[in-house]
Amino acid sequence: MLYAIISQDVENSLEKRLSVRPAHIERLNALKNEGRLILAGPHPAIDNNEPGAAGFTGSLVVAQFDSLEQAQKWADADPYMASGAYASVTVKPFKQVLP
C-alpha cells in the first residue's frame, strides 16, 4: 500500500537539513531503486523552488510499504529526524487516484 509521510520542520532547520542531506537522499534513492517511491520533496518556506536562506518548512514522501508500521519505522529513522530538522512526522495511508 502507499503511504504519505508528511514532515514538519523546526524553525530555522536549513543547517540541520544540510548536515545530513546526503544520507536522507540515499534513503530516498534506495526506495526509488526498489520501485517503491512515487514522489518526494520539500516544502519551500517561500514561494520559490530555490528558497535560499529561507529554507524549508517540511517534506512530503509518498512511497509503498507493506504496512503502516513499516512506513512509520522508515520515517522515524530518517536522518532529518535524528538531526533535529523535523519537529514532527505524520504517516498516513494514501490512495492514489490520479495520474
- Could you report the per-residue pLDDT of 63-77, keeping only the tens digit for each? 999 999 999 999 999
In this prediction, residue 68 carries a pLDDT of 98
d(CA 56, CA 48): 10
Instruction: Give me the residue spans of the domains in the chain.
Output: 2-94
Asked if residues 80 and 17 have their Cβ atoms less than 8 Å apart, the reply is: yes
In this prediction, residue 14 carries a pLDDT of 96
In this prediction, residue 53 carries a pLDDT of 96
Residue 88 phi, psi dihedral angles, 5° rounding: -160, 160
Amino acid at 73: K
Instruction: Return per-residue pLDDT of the chain as tens, 99 residues.
Output: 999 999 999 999 999 999 999 999 999 999 999 999 999 999 999 999 999 999 999 999 999 999 999 999 999 999 999 999 999 999 999 999 999
Residue 36 phi, psi dihedral angles, 5° rounding: -105, -10
In this prediction, residue 90 carries a pLDDT of 98
CATH of 2-94, one of 1.10.12.10, 3.90.550.10, 3.30.70.1060, 3.40.50.10490: 3.30.70.1060
